[in-house]
Structure formats: structure tokens, C-alpha cells
Chains A and B, each alone.
Chain A
């Protein structure tokens, strides 16, 4: 167990089921995740891997039909989020854990001025309105919005997409949270803006001493930004480790194939691009053995019999694959 003072968020054995008309969807299974102090942890995975369910579990924003397993725990700064009262939970959301969403166009209320939206977040603080506006203007300045004091009166549609995402970041960091969760914050933006936003987020997190959980399907961004990487597949963490270790010495066949598929990593120009054949299993009717076995080119006898546990490659690198155990 890590020392609690070094850890902002600790997710242990998190399993989440969704009860639907078709059956029980086993969306997350035995997920372990640690976000250390002042670190940026990236979550990579393709659609349906459970990224959003994981984030929503941390903030307890799951839909009504979700069932969280009894053995699960989500500990934020020493307190179990899953056992918290609704009042305590509200105290944490937006204040100690804040979020930046995918689409900056819809994340801001279109009929309220930026200044009002920003000072509204500070309602818990005992501060004069003038001070709150000064703080808001200061935050806007820090995220690179020119002439911030005057622009507080402007409405979201008066800003471009990139500027709006900067405002969202400013709002997320206003309460000086311990953890910032960014859910694909740049997918709606162009490449040149994406690069700007990523650098901004990295700088600000360092300046505010804030940890970040960065969710993306873009391996380039993960490599650029993160200290640690968690690879998810079909509701399980299949591999996690320090970023250099993971990118250069990936152990899980899925991680390796995912890295191979990225056209940005293919040096030679080629017309025939690598793919991962087969499809993500139905989460209602899971295969008996390893979750990736049906698509895995390296599977052998133990893979289809039982699910692998998590094995250590080294102190900072864990993999859910029998080959690592047997190596």
C-alpha cells in the first residue's frame, strides 16, 4: 500500500455492473488505479473500454441502473467516495475534484456571462463580489485569455472553441482542486489548438500543484503529457506503468497492437496499415478466460481457461497477462 500522503486518488478493485433489459452489462471489472500527488495519469482505450464509467464512478455520477460491487473502494485524500453522504459528495465535486469535458461548445451555459459563471463557482467562499471577479479575471489571464477583466462580461458564443476550452480549464482550476479529470479535452479542437491546450494544462497543473487524470484515445497526447499510463480494454485495466516503460517496453499484446496501429508511430510510409482483427467482446456474455484472448495472436493454453491476475513487470509496471507470469 502506498503512503496515503503521496496519493490523491486510489481506486481499488472497482467493479461496476449496469442492469439493462438485455441483461447485466459488466462494464468495469476489478479496476485498480492510483493517482499520486502532482502526477498526470493517462487512461487510454478504445470506445467501450469503460473510461467514462471509471470517471463517473470516481465522481459518483453513475446512472441509476449501475451497481457498484461491495468490495470496491474509491479513496480520495483518505476518504472513501463510495461511502460518502450526498452533502460531503457535493463538497468534493467541483471543489476538490473538478472536470474538463470533451465539448467546450456545450460545457458552458450559453445564456450566462463568463464572469457570472465563474464567480458562481466561488459561492462557497466568503469573499466580496469585487474580489471574486478579480480572482476570475486573474484565472482567465492565467489560461491565456487577452484582456481578461473586460471579457468577464462576455457570453460563451463570443469566444472561439479554443478560448472556450481555456475558460473551462480556468473554471476547473478556480477552487484549486486536488484532482483534475480531463475527459478527451481536445477531441473537438484542431491540431494547432490541441497542442496549445495540452501545454497549457500541463503548465497549470504544475503551477497549481494539482494531479490530473487525463482520458484520451490519442496515444500521441498521452505520450506528450502523462507521467503514468493506464491501458483499458473491455472494462479491465490490462496494463499500467510509467510512461517511458509502457511506450518502449509494452508487455500486453493489446497495448503492443494498439501502439502498432497508430499511423503516427509508423515511420515508413505504407499503404497497408496494421489493425486488430476481431471485435470487443459483449460485456453481457464475457469469455471465460482472458478478456483479450479471442483477439490475441499470442494466446496459448492458459489464456482460454482462466482470467489472468495482474503481474509485476517491475516496480512501476503491471500487466494482466499470463505471458508475464510465465516469463
Chain B
């Protein structure tokens, strides 16, 4: 019998996590990764790293400049700015991860339903998404906050509502492109149901562009949170936020520049970090942009 000789014995093996190695080879991506890791670790370990209690008042040393005791100085109530920045990072990342994560999940599911489901559902969902996308984000946020009152949850809600349509659109487009491929037909011919096809076979093939978009969206959300807190519409004091620290600094800029600097730098680091990482991820993961080796 000649057929038992496989045409090829060897399997072309690729090293595991090849994309990760490629990411490390990209200097900007590497830089972004380092910044992102720095932010994440400082936020997680805020309680351990912070030299002072972020709520502790020290009226004697108000608006002090940097010193060994207060690395980034103190604010108008004498609270240690460095400790407040670290805890502010917790708030920023919490808002960003929860809201971006939820929009990603929600957008993925709704987008897949639109792409894979019947035409009327697609039309309905698309009409809904387009209407939501038509709201200006800040106006919408102000309106919601006016009705519900400022809180962390309100910010998260606003962000989820305004960013979900973007994810849903991408998920829908990828679903439409994937649903008529032969491997999906093959699964259908085996008798696989819709949930199995969607979650077991579609998701792994369409989730990559969403993850890239998410990593680029995180700094945007952090800026929204900071912006609303700056306006006093975000987190309530004494909870620290980069936005409220900036706002405090703005009020006392004639006395000391340190508050504004301390509140601004983490925002810049976060934005740069996530953006570089997102772009590098896109280059590495998106096969259409892949350069010839």
C-alpha cells in the first residue's frame, strides 16, 4: 500500500510566542512594554511602595517642593503627592481596564451577533451603534453626570456606552469576512451549533484587532477619567486621581509647579506606553502589515 507514506514526515515548527520575540525586537514596542509594566506594577504595589498615607494631612509642610521625605512634594493640604500619584494610578487603571474590558466583551458579542445573525438583527444593531456613536462623548458624559451624579461608576458607564460601538463594528466586519470561509462551513457540516461556531471558532480568529484597539483605547479612557476629575465631575475627594491632582496644581500654579508636573507626567507616560505597545502589537499580530522576513 503506497498511501501510508505521508507526503511529509517533518512538521514545520515555529517557536512558541514568536510574536512576543518579534515585539521585543521592536525598540518602540519594547519601550512601550516597559512603560506599561512600570505603570501596572506601581499601581498594583501602590500600598507597598507609597511612603505616606495618601490621605494623611501635614499642614505644616503645605505645597512643599521635592525632598527625600516627599519625593514629588506635597499638595495644598500637605498630602504626599507621590503617594497620591501611585494611588491615582490605581483609580486610572481600574477605570480603564474595567470599562475597556467590558466594551471589548460587549462589542465582541454584539458585533458577532450582527455579523453572524439574520439580516434584520444586523440592521437593528448597526442602526443602534451608529446612533450611539453620534453622541459627542464629553456632552454625553456631562449629561449623564448631571442626572446620576459624579462617581467612578458613572465614568465607567459612560465609557462603556461610547466605546462599545467601535469594537462591535470591527467584530462585525471580521465576522462577515470569516463566516463564509471553508472552516466555518466545515464546522457547520459537522452539525456544530451557532454558539459553538461563534465562541470556539470565530472568537479566536477575530479577537486580535479588538485587542490592539483596546490597548490603544486605554490611554484615551484614562484621559477621559482625568479630564472629568479635573472638572470635578469624576472621583470624589479624598480619593486621588491624576485629574484632580492636576486641578489642585492648576489652582496653586503660582505657588508651586510641582503639582502640575507630578499630575501630568503619569498621564504622558501612560499614553505613550500604551500607544507604542498597541502599535507594535498591531505590526506584529496583523498579518496584512507583516513585512517580508
**Set of chain B residues within 8 Å of A64, measured between Cβ atoms:** 292
B293 adjacent to A65 (CB under 8 Å): yes
Number of interchain pairs (Cβ within 8 Å)? 21
Q: How far is the CA of A21 from the CA of B7 in the complex (A)?
A: 25
- Is A106 positioned at the interface, with any CB of B under 8 Å from its CB? no
Q: Can you identify 20 A-B contacts, CB atoms within 8 angstroms?
A: A20-B293, A21-B293, A63-B292, A65-B292, A65-B293, A272-B2, A274-B2, A275-B2, A275-B3, A275-B5, A277-B2, A277-B5, A278-B5, A279-B6, A279-B7, A279-B8, A279-B9, A279-B10, A280-B8, A282-B10
| Interface-central residue, B6, B10, B293, by most chain A CB under 10 Å | B293
**Set of chain B residues within 8 Å of A279, measured between Cβ atoms:** 6-10
Task: Name the residue of chain B whose CB is nearest to the CB of A275.
Answer: B2
Q: How far is the CA of A166 from the CA of B38 in the complex (A)?
A: 61
Task: Name the residue of chain A whose CB is nearest to the CB of B5.
Answer: A277
Q: How far is the CA of A280 from the CA of B2 in the complex (A)?
A: 17
**Set of chain B residues within 8 Å of A275, measured between Cβ atoms:** 2-3, 5
Q: How far is the CA of A25 from the CA of B10 in the complex (A)?
A: 16
Q: How far is the CA of A135 from the CA of B7 in the complex (A)?
A: 50
Main secondary structure of the interface of A (DSSP, over half): loop
**Set of chain A residues within 8 Å of B9, measured between Cβ atoms:** 279
Q: How far is the CA of A282 from the CA of B6 in the complex (A)?
A: 16
- Count of chain B residues near A, Cβ 8 A: 10
**Set of chain A residues within 8 Å of B10, measured between Cβ atoms:** 279, 282
Q: How far is the CA of A64 from the CA of B291 in the complex (A)?
A: 10
Q: How far is the CA of A59 from the CA of B146 in the complex (A)?
A: 68
- Cβ distance B71 to chain A, nearest Cβ, rounded Å: 44
**Set of chain B residues within 8 Å of A278, measured between Cβ atoms:** 5
- Count of chain A residues near B, Cβ 8 A: 13
**Set of chain B residues within 8 Å of A277, measured between Cβ atoms:** 2, 5
Q: How far is the CA of A242 from the CA of B235 in the complex (A)?
A: 84
Q: How far is the CA of A274 from the CA of B293 in the complex (A)?
A: 37
Task: Name the residue of chain B whose CB is nearest to the CB of A274.
Answer: B2
Q: How far is the CA of A30 from the CA of B48 in the complex (A)?
A: 67
Task: Name the residue of chain B whose CB is nearest to the CB of A277.
Answer: B5
Task: Name the residue of chain A whose CB is nearest to the CB of B4.
Answer: A277
Q: How far is the CA of A274 from the CA of B2 in the complex (A)?
A: 8
Task: Name the residue of chain A whose CB is nearest to the CB of B18.
Answer: A21
Task: Name the residue of chain B whose CB is nearest to the CB of A273.
Answer: B2
Task: Name the residue of chain B whose CB is nearest to the CB of A278.
Answer: B5
Within 8 A of A (CB), among B1-21: 2-3, 5-10
**Set of chain B residues within 8 Å of A63, measured between Cβ atoms:** 292
Within 8 A of B (CB), among A253-308: 272, 274-275, 277-280, 282
Task: Name the residue of chain B whose CB is nearest to the CB of A280.
Answer: B8
**Set of chain B residues within 8 Å of A282, measured between Cβ atoms:** 10
Known: A21-B293, A272-B2, A274-B2. 11 other contacts (CB 8 A): A20-B293, A63-B292, A65-B292, A275-B2, A275-B5, A277-B5, A278-B5, A279-B9, A279-B10, A280-B8, A282-B10
Task: Name the residue of chain A whose CB is nearest to the CB of B291.
Answer: A64
Q: How far is the CA of A65 from the CA of B293 in the complex (A)?
A: 7
- Cβ distance B30 to chain A, nearest Cβ, rounded Å: 18
**Set of chain A residues within 8 Å of B293, measured between Cβ atoms:** 20-21, 65
